[in-house]
Amino acid sequence: MSRDQDAILDEIFETLAALAPEIRASLPGRRVKSDETNPSGETRLEADAYADELIEEALGGIDGVGTYASEEQAEPIDVGSGDVSIACDPLDGSSNIKPNSPMGTIIAVYEGDLPASGDELLASGFILFGPILTMDIARDGRVTEAIVEDGEIDVINDDVTIPDEPTVYSMGGRVPDWTEGFAAFIEEVEQEYKLRYGGAMVADVNQVLTYGGSFSYPALKSAENGKLRLQFEGIPMAYIVECAGGVSSDGTESILDVDPERFHQRVPVHLGNEELIDTVEAKLAAHD
């Protein structure tokens, strides 16, 4: 009889929480760029590779976990006989080490083989290396927020809910590279909301969860699927925002409904309050 999925999820998130202080402690000594690039062609820091090693070793050894996959590795790795697959962005926003700005770890837990869509997602979560070390977990339609400075999950909010009134917007890319529809959205939104963009999806989305608003890394003229990876960033963060009462979109549908074709496939990402995301979709559609 396969191990109960809830017990596997408990152990995955408890193990990641226990590892978080060690990942944070490893950062000061690994700020330099390695001479390697990740499968998406981005320069890898020593910190990226080390966090990936730590997480693969810790989560790959859990009874019930069959596959470990990472933004840092070309293909998924068989780590056991279970049918639970883990897809991880070990250090999202690691370029923020240099300016000492927030970054984090994103994890998606899927049932079955990879690549997988939101239909196969069992749970997702992120660790945020900010002034305080925190961890959000989305399971069974609900988001909890915890402090994990000592490696234990100390819940401080057991029902994270995006505020009804949007306050901040956050967007990736550069004006000349935005599609006409997205530029039209930003022109409208800039009249009302505060720009909060820090270059790390985990921290920027957590601002939207905290203050209400929208986070976008849109389709670009030079990259029709934008920059963020579906498996490691789009789906897990979309699930968290949707469980917190917000919506996600790739410009036309929920990111959880996007069918993965390639393992490191990118996806345009819009997350946040329903009204704002509806405006994004309308502007993009109007300028298609």
Q: What count of other Cβ atoms lies within 10 Å of the Cβ of residue 80? A: 15
Using CB under 6 A as the binding rule, whether residue 178 contacts ligand P6P is answered as no
* Strands 142-147 and 154-157, sheet pairing: antiparallel
**Could you tell me which of 121, 114, 106 has the C-alpha nearest to residue 48?**
106
CA–CA gap between residue 276 and residue 42 (Å, rounded)? 31
Ligand-binding site membership of 197 (annotated): yes
Q: Based on CB atoms, which residue is closest to ligand P6P, 8 or 169?
A: 169
Pick the closest to residue 232 from 35, 90, 65 (CA basis). 90
- Binding ligand P6P (rule: CB under 6 A), the pick from 65, 121, 143, 200 is 200
Bridge partners, residue 157, by sequence: 145
Which residues, 31 to 60, sit near ligand P6P by CB under 6 A?
A: none
227 annotated to bind ligand: yes
Q: Where are the alpha helices (DSSP H) in 41-86?
A: 46-60
Beta bridge partners of 65: 84
In whole angstroms, how close is the CB of 199 to ligand P6P at the nearest point?
A: 5
- Binding flag, residue 163, ligand P6P (CB under 6 A): no
Confirm or reject binding of residue 217 to ligand P6P (CB under 6 A). yes
196 counts as binding ligand P6P under rule CB under 6 A:
no
50 is in an annotated binding site: no
Residue 93 as a binder of ligand P6P (CB under 6 A): the answer is yes
92 is in an annotated binding site: yes
Determine phi and psi for 150, rounding to 5 degrees.
-100, 10
Burial state string for 123-150 with b = 16 or more CB within 10 A and e = fewer than 16: bbbbbbbbeebbbbbbbeeebbbbebee
Establish if 199 lies at the interface with ligand P6P (CB under 6 A): yes
89 is in an annotated binding site: yes
* Interacting residues of 85 by C-beta distance below 8 A, sequence separation 6+: 65, 66, 67, 68, 69, 76, 109, 110, 111, 112, 113, 114, 116
- Which segment (46-54, 197-205, 254-262, 279-287) binds ligand P6P by CB under 6 A? 197-205
CB of 92 to ligand P6P, least distance (A): 4
Indicate the residue whose CB is closest to ligand P6P. Answer: 201
Interface pick for ligand P6P out of 48, 52, 72, 92 (rule CB under 6 A): 92
Rule CB under 6 A: say whether 227 interacts with ligand P6P: yes
List, as residue ranges, the binding site: 71, 89, 91-95, 197, 227, 233
List, as residue ranges, the binding site for substrate: 92-95, 197, 227
Catalog residues that contact ligand P6P under the rule CB under 6 A.
92-93, 95, 172, 199-201, 217, 227-228
